[in-house]
Amino acid sequence: MPGFGSGTAAEQRFNVNLSILFTELPLLERPAAAAAAGFSAVELWWPWVDSPTPERSELDALKRAIEDAGVRLTGLNFYAGQLPGPDRGALSVPGAESERFRANIDVAAGFAESLGCTALNALYGNRVDGVDPAEQDALALENLALAARAADRIGAVLLVEALNKPESPRYPLVSAPAAVEVVDRVNEATGLGNARFLMDLYHLSMNGEDLPSVIERYTPKTGHVQIADNPGRGAPGTGSLPLEDLLGQLRKAGYDGWIGLEYKPGASPSAEAFGWLPVEQRAAR
């Protein structure tokens, strides 16, 4: 697997998404596995897919696992339903799912605060048959404003992510402009300015977007970046995306935040999926 040049990689801060990598291990063993692979930071989708409000003992156990591993939690999703799977968020879905999202807001924010996590990602939610999209969008704005206020209370940003239409055909935010428009609406509604764009280069490439143009236009509104190669959603070097060049462009455009590794490890153990990144460049400096 080709490696990144030291000039680009050495200037980036990488974290590992423990909801897509190291999933061959139990959840509580994954932080230590990431640390053993040389990383100092991790991120997570909401780990309890069936529960927006898990028992305190479960939250405490995960907190201890992260602290004992000596890694930093830098990003956390709010409750979003079954991930990976057909669900793509809950906050715009009327009824029980929206209520579950609201019940999760303070729980997720409190957990993030306990670990010094400063980025919370809220997946928008699929369109629902028989419901006016305008009604869903109004509900989404209301819930995103609640989430933004909770994030602000702990000194965090609220992330809004574009997914890709081939894999998430009912998800309405399938372009960078669509996601950034929601970011702007949330900031206007709250006056806080802490809603930011989550720029996932894999999803945007699946949508056929001009990635250099997206980087040039939207880096100032970007709060987090995630990467995977395309096709295949594998590690850098397994597909055809010029990820090293794209990350270099991001750096030149002023982005100095975390780069989330949100890719599939393939048939090998996750610990073997980082050959593209020299060990000495995995820990944040």
Question: Does 29 qualify as catalytic in the annotation?
Answer: no
pLDDT of res. 179? 98
The better pLDDT of the pair 187, 279 is held by 187
Give percent of the chain above pLDDT 90: 91
How do residues 205-247 score in pLDDT, each as one tens digit? 999 999 999 999 999 999 999 999 999 999 999 999 999 999 9
Catalytic residue among 43, 97, 161, 244: 161
**If DSSP codes are grouped into helix, strand and coil, which group holds residue 189?**
helix
pLDDT of res. 5? 56
How do residues 183-194 score in pLDDT, each as one tens digit? 999 999 999 999
Residue 51 and residue 59 in contact, taking contact as beta carbons nearer than 8 Å: no
Instruction: Return the percent helix, strand and coil in the chain, to nearest 5.
Output: 40, 15, 45
* Domains assigned to the chain: 6-281 (3.20.20.150)
How do residues 13-57 score in pLDDT, each as one tens digit? 999 999 999 999 999 999 999 999 999 999 999 999 999 999 999
Torsion of CA 143, 148, 153, 155, to 10 degrees: 150
Catalytic residue among 43, 97, 209, 262: 262
Q: What H or E segment, with its residue span, contains residue 226?
A: strand 222-227
Does 143 have pLDDT greater than 80?
Answer: yes
Radius of gyration of the chain (CA): 18
Residue 247 and residue 259 in contact, taking contact as beta carbons nearer than 8 Å: yes
